[in-house]
Amino acid sequence: MNKFPPLKLRIAMVVYEALWWLLLPAALLYLRKRGRKDHVYAQHISERFGRYTKRLKNPVWVHAVSLGEMRSATPLIRALLERGETVLTTHFTPAGRREAEREFANEIAQGRVQTVWVPLELGFTYRRFLRHFTPKYGLVMEIEIWPRMIMACRKHGTPLFMCNAQYPQKSFDKDTKGLGLRAALLGGFAGGFVKSDDQRIRFAAAGMTNIHITGELRFDQPIPQHHLDAAAKAREALTKGRPSFTLTSVVEGEDPIYIDMIRNTPDAFFVYVPRAPERFDEVANMLRDAGLNFARRSDVLDADLNLRPDTPKIDVLLGDSMGEMYFYLSLADRAIVGGGFVPKGAHNVIEPLALKKPVIVGPHIWTIAYPAQEAIAAGVCDNVQTPAALLHAVQQPSPVTENQITQFYNDHAGGVIRTLAAIDKAL
């Protein structure tokens, strides 16, 4: 077995630490700038330096950088709490932190869950963090590789695992070229809980050991019943019996494609949900400039998702809120998952399938190879390659039965149970 870290990585870490010190003022300016758009970015700055006012005793540490990672972690955290564990969650973005605080509000009040910012990538910040909390072990959701985090956990003796992990082929090819420093860091993890056998092969080739195939945690996500109930009340009033589609997690760069599709499908109703809250106003302006008859969720629905009595007939509902995706999906017959028309890749298809909604996604699915390829093979996901094909899929959708989706979903659920078993084995 090769010794970790290899010499090239030890040298690179010296340079990495020096660069972080050099660029620290720029990092703080970045947080301040982002704080102007979202004030949470600029709060609790001391946590970024490993200073905390509260302390859980020997928690399980779950690092969920943002909203998507936190959603995938939620069912696993619930299971850990049922085991009697306390859980510490760390985040880099307000979206992830807000989701944790919303989902686990009761447990936070009970002192069973604590949410904090992940420390900045400096040696002393992680030393403070690990001394303060002394986690039993850490679970890094998805494919987040933080060099100082990995090195500090190795030195402190805190087992750090990659969880619900996937290694897309494009990332693997990039990471293993040249010096391969990013891939080499994978050898610093205590192990990995990965989504499929393809992922296991790639992680092992990059140097990770103690790998377990556990599937996708998102298949076990809880579905808020009040979202379903609210959508059932509002759906007919909004759709007026028209075919309905929800566009989820739309990212910058693909709006013109989707807006053109909406303009060319006049007899349908659309819900349009941007990926990031800072884009809500920008997308509203785009819809207005396109001459579309739209309204914002914040204007026509109250805090409990009840439709206001004076709501006019609209063709597009702009979802300008976070944490209400299941409500938006429940308004639709079919979902269009964003990100697929830009090279950075599509977002996950699991949430709409959980509600038995067929899915349409653009050409770039390398980010969600599992389970998108399996969903395409099962006939529950339409992988369109061009804007023209997207328009055709909306105007003449291919038939998909509820039984097809149910069978696909049942075939891939159970990730939480497999992950808990793998944690016990890996430790």
Residues annotated as catalytic are 69
Q: Specify the length of the chain in residues.
A: 427
**Which residues, 6+ apart, have CB-to-CB distance to 6 below 8 Å?**
184
Helix segments in 176-318, DSSP class H: 181-185, 197-206, 225-239, 255-263, 280-289, 297-300
d(CA 263, CA 315): 10
Edge to edge, the sheet with strand 160-165 lists: 113-117, 87-91, 60-63, 137-141, 160-165, 191-194, 211-213
Buried b (16+ CB within 10 A) or exposed e, 150-181: bbbbbeeebbbbbbbbbbbeebbeebbeeebb
d(CA 276, CA 251): 8
Q: Which residue in 391, 389, 387 sits closest to 257, CA to CA?
A: 387
How far apart are the two ends of the chain, measured CA to CA in Å? 19
Structure tokens that stand for 314 in this block: 């609209």
Q: Is the separation of the CB atoms in 394 and 261 below 8 Å?
A: yes
